[in-house]
Amino acid sequence: MYRLGEIVARLGGELIGDADVDIRRMATLEKAGPGDLCFLTHSKYLQQLRSTRASAVILARKHQKATSLPKIVCDDPYVYYARAAQLLNAETRPAPGIHPRAVVEPGAEVPGSAAVGPFCHIGRGARLGERTVVGASCTIGEDVRIGEDALLGPSVTIYPRCVVGERSVIHAGAVIGADGFGMAPEAGRWVKIPQTGRVVIGDDVEIGANTTIDRGALDDTVIEDGVKLDNQIQIGHNVRVGAHTIMAACVGVAGSTRIGKHCAIGGGARIWGHIEIADRVNISATAEVVKSIPRAGTYTGVLPAGESREWARMVAHLRGLDRLSKRVAELEARVKPRKRKR
């Protein structure tokens, strides 16, 4: 629990009203009660602000006169809410130590400040950073490097030689460094190509539950600093994801693609392999990206859902566009005006 004034002292902003109000948690305007801190980001919620039972509210300067409640006035209420929620919901990390049912192979380095849960396996030569937390049933391969203050949820698997940066968070079931999908065709059969690269993950990266990142075939697969990946994402081998890019759930990125910095990729988007995407590109949910995107901007590439018969007619028309285009060209050629003789 914090007093409102303590929150402002830590996070900044302008406090208007009682600084001694006790704040226990964040809540929505609609559901809040005494001890709750809310936030307002849009004028359409002003009616909820007028009826809220919250103890205090975070809002923008243009809305500061909309309520008599104690308030924190700031430039970006949504970001302030995120910071306040972190403060009020600070995770309690387990006590340092290696659980007696964990296996730490000879040559592995586990500092005294790290916490290793039950049924974990730490491979030979692996090195954990100070204050690292490894959840139950994790597998850390040989010669893996994990930076300070990293947090691994239950059942995370990190294959040999991969690198995880400082303060990174990897959620339950993620697999880092499995073989990339490399196969060479030979007489109707497939010959496996050994995947000898690594996965290198930067600092302050977050990787969602059951997300998979393949190791490179020759070069490394690289996830740069500050990248945020949602659940159930597939990153193919030799991909590079630029710093502070964010991806929503179920995105698939095929091998050897380069994605720039500060990109935002919507859920279910499909990105083909061996292409490059510039910095600050926004890709809409479920879009299919089949070629390089050289300039910043927002890109959308799917048909929206509609009533089934209408959608089927639209698809039928699209399938006939090539034939229609040829007919139009033929008609234009027939009616092309002839030059008049003088």
Q: What are phi and psi of 59, to 5 degrees?
A: -155, 170
Active site residue 244: no
Angle at 207 between CA 265 and CA 120, to 5 degrees: 160
In the three-class reduction of DSSP (H, G, I as helix; E, B as strand; rest coil), residue 218 is classed as coil
Decide: 146 and 166 in contact? Cβ < 8 Å.
Answer: no
Decide: 284 and 267 in contact? Cβ < 8 Å.
Answer: no
Length of the chain equals 342
Q: Which long-range contacts (CB under 8 A, 24 or more apart) does 9-13 make?
A: 10/87, 11/80, 11/83, 11/84, 11/87, 12/74, 13/58, 13/72, 13/73, 13/74, 13/80
Q: Map tokens 């095929």 to a residue.
A: 254
* Candidate list 63, 121, 171, 237, residue with the active-site label: 237
Decide: 195 and 180 in contact? Cβ < 8 Å.
Answer: yes
| Nearest one of 277, 129, 122, 96 to 203, comparing CA atoms | 129
**E runs forming strands in 193-289:** 199-201, 206-207, 212-214, 221-223, 228-229, 234-235, 240-241, 246-247, 252-253, 258-259, 264-265, 270-271, 276-277, 281-283, 288-289
- Residues assigned a catalytic role: 237
